[in-house]
Amino acid sequence: MIIVFKQKTSEADVNKVAKNVEDLGLSTHIVVGEEQTICGIIGDTTKVDPKSLEVSPVVEKVMKVSEPYKLANRAFHPEDSIIDVAGVKVGGNHMALIAGPCSVESVEQVTEIAKAVKESGANMLRGGAFKPRTSPYSFQGMGTAGLDILVEAKKATGLPIVSESMDAKYIDEFNEKVDLVQIGARNMQNFDLLKEVGKRCTKPILLKRGLCATYEEWIMSAEYIMASGNPNVILCERGIRTFETYTRNTLDLQSIPVLKKMTHLPIVIDPSHAGGKWWLVEPMAKAAVAAGCDGLMIEVHNNPEKALCDGPQSLKPEKYDELLKQLSGIAKVVGKEL
Ligand code: PEP
Ligand code: MN
């Protein structure tokens, strides 16, 4: 349920109405917008009589929210959320340009790639230290040593770090070393992990879409993180499983306009894991920017032929550079800053 206040309602009057709701044992979430202030009500709203709230002279209207997600709901926060990742803004007209290797392999590899992508215009560095691999016999990532290499690369370039955490036991380490904590597709519905990063993670979260998750399931996972105390969530579409086998996954670009309707959270597109082929990255990245995404996460490797993970879908630094040049014109058309 949402209480919409009349324009120019004072903070004291808003708080008074919110207090009445809280006295019924519900929680409230006040959003002060440029035009209007709204108060979202979270909990068992059957206890609330909308008519009695509308009696107040400062209340414009009371609306029921039928969706099961509240904090992530666009109705609760009509303006786009802008998430700050170590000084880099994501959302609104600000684009996240995340680039880097699938996995951290060595200091030389990461620093060389980090310097190159920064030069091209990337504003965040990605690199997996803890890798969720389908096979237990595949390279599992360098772990803590990998995170330390990313920290070194950040020192050299200033680029904030994006890396995946698969287990709540590493949260303190990620709080110290990583700027944007990725929850991978396979963990999108690991509810205990979502609750822990909501409670204890001091950094924003990049929540990837599960391999076969619906929009609502994905947003509900964001809601878990937000309801546990971390409001800073960025969504990432990385392709879903379909009957098609030619591509690794199928990139769902409809998710951009649909999610923008459903939620105020930014949405980043990962064309690398979607197509699984390096030559699909450029056309899909262009289409994603044209469709209004809030950022791109792209795998870049200085030697894709020898990459320990996901070489076939990785761009060489020169290709990434060309791509960003081409994207700037498209971004301008849709009112985004690259
Ligand atoms: C990744 O980005 O490194 C990754 C493993 O992606 P996903 O969880 O989308 O498969
Ligand atoms: Mn990868």
What pLDDT, in 10s, does the model give residues 193-236?
Answer: 999 999 999 999 999 999 999 999 999 999 999 999 999 999 99
> What is the average per-residue pLDDT within 271-290?
98
pLDDT tens for each residue of 35-64: 889 999 998 899 899 999 999 999 999 999
The three-point CA angle 314-318-323 to 5° equals 80
> What is the average per-residue pLDDT within 139-147?
98
pTM above 0.85, yes or no: yes
Best mutation site among 183, 247, 270, 314 for ligand 1, i.e. most ligand atoms within 8 A of its Cβ?
A: 270
Ligand 1 mean position to 185 CA, how many Å? Answer: 6
pLDDT of residue 265: 98
Minimum mean pLDDT range among 7-11, 151-155, 264-268: 7-11
Alpha-carbon Rg for the chain, nearest whole angstrom, is: 21
Q: Among residues of the chain, what percentage have pLDDT more than 70?
A: 100
Tokens found for residue 179: 């700027």
Confidence of residue 34 (pLDDT cuts 50, 70, 90): confident
| Average pLDDT, rounded, for the chain | 97
CB 218 within 8 A of CB 262: no
Ligand in closest contact with the CA of 162 = 1
* Protein residue with its CA nearest to atom 6 in ligand 1: 184
pLDDT tens for each residue of 70-97: 999 999 999 999 999 999 999 999 999 9
Query: Which atom belonging to ligand 1 lies closest to the Cα atom of 103?
Result: 3
Residues with CB under 6 A from ligand 1: 102, 128, 132, 164, 184-186, 208, 238, 273
Tokens found for residue 122: 């990337």
Query: Which atom belonging to ligand 1 lies closest to the Cα atom of 102?
Result: 3
Q: In the block, which residue shows the tokens 């058309």?
A: 333
pLDDT tens for each residue of 284-326: 999 999 999 999 999 999 999 999 999 999 999 999 999 999 9
Q: Among residues of the chain, what percentage have pLDDT more than 90?
A: 97
pLDDT of residue 33: 86
